A and B are shown apart, each in its own frame.
Chain A
């Protein structure tokens, strides 16, 4: 059997990037900015969003909620009277562990983008795969809680490197833990020295205001109305 070499020269994630670019164009047309919020399971994404979105003034915020199964988080956020669309990834991949551009795209039809200033995508809890797949977002942020260990940036550098903001959550628990906050911050600096690091407690609300300012500030990155 003869062999022929075929030049491909294509990144394996190009197909995803193409769809992410199409999402981006839709977001721009609708003048909506998009934040991709990621973390390990249980780091506090939903509670932090509950806290932050409770006081949103006139800002029109929507949430795209990614989970393998169920709508527990979406139900919690719906209580704040923000439009929430649930994506369950179990139909895609035997329990897909992340949202990719195509999954987000398929959910866009259910969202009235034109009625939003800011869309927050709460990704599936996972520190690995979500870092690989762009969805067309303006900003990527992650939450790392103090119950997870200060070595996490060294173990999941791709995730920490992909985010412009690292939120350190559950600081109210620090008195009960042998957690070295300085070591965590130093490790974040080793893998992503450009990241903004914010310490807060979604539970007590301490420090949440700063996160809220950052989150709502992303809305200004959407193209201005014409």
Chain B
């Protein structure tokens, strides 16, 4: 359900930038720390974009790995767990504590984004008027209205 909240936020932002033009592709960068499942995002984006300028648009998701930097020793590392089949059980757990000096404090260099990088729009206005949407809240669809 988390992806529904995120999808609605994406649709609202994209419509603001589309300036009345129909959107064909949304180029999105999703950080690994955001816990967004791409397949689920696709599904909810289709729901949230219905009856808007984003309807039918493709979601082009680029996954961005997380990168941390230790505030103590400036070591940089990816905190994401490795797949279970990698062989080392300890590596299959996330590690946000510095692997070099064991310090707790670190800043996130990458992986926190839900960045709408760009959108591809059709150059002919989709509809007359402001065309931003048909005035319906797309989320009403979820309530069967």
Contact = CB atoms under 8 A, between A and B. Distances in A.
Interface residues of B, number: 42
Given A16-B9, A158-B33, A193 B120 contact: no
Contacts of B54: none
A154 B124 CA distance: 48
Which one of B1, B5, B19, B28 has the greatest number of beta carbons of chain A within 10 Å?
Answer: B5
A11 B114 contact: yes
Nearest to A2: B123
A151 to B, nearest CB: 10
Interface size class of A (residues with CB under 8 A): 35 or more
Interface residues of A: mostly helix, strand, loop or mixed?
mixed
Contacts of A157: 33, 35, 94
A35 to B, nearest CB: 22
Contacts of A176: none
A154 B143 contact: no
Interface of B: 1-2, 5-6, 8-10, 12-14, 17-19, 21, 24, 28, 33-35, 93-97, 104-105, 113-124, 139-140, 142-143
8 contacts: A5-B119, A6-B118, A6-B120, A7-B118, A13-B114, A93-B5, A132-B6, A187-B93
